[in-house]
Structure 1
Amino acid sequence: MATLGKNPRTYEELRKQVTEDGGVLGTTAQVLRDIEGAGRLGSTVRAEISQKLQAHGLRHLPADLPQYQEQEVIVYLASGAIAAVVNAVLNPSVSTAKVLRQLADKNAQETLDKIRQLVGPPTE
Structure 2
Amino acid sequence: KRTLEWGSRHSPEETCLPFKTILGNMLEGLELGADSVYMIGGWGPCRLGYYAEIQRIIIEDLGKHVEFITLEVPQGNYRLAWERLRRVFGPTSARKLIQGCRLSWAKLKVLEDVEALS
Q: Same fold (TM over 0.5)?
A: no
> What is the TM-score of this pair, normalised by structure 2?
0.31
Q: When you count helix as a share of all residues, which structure comes out higher?
A: 2
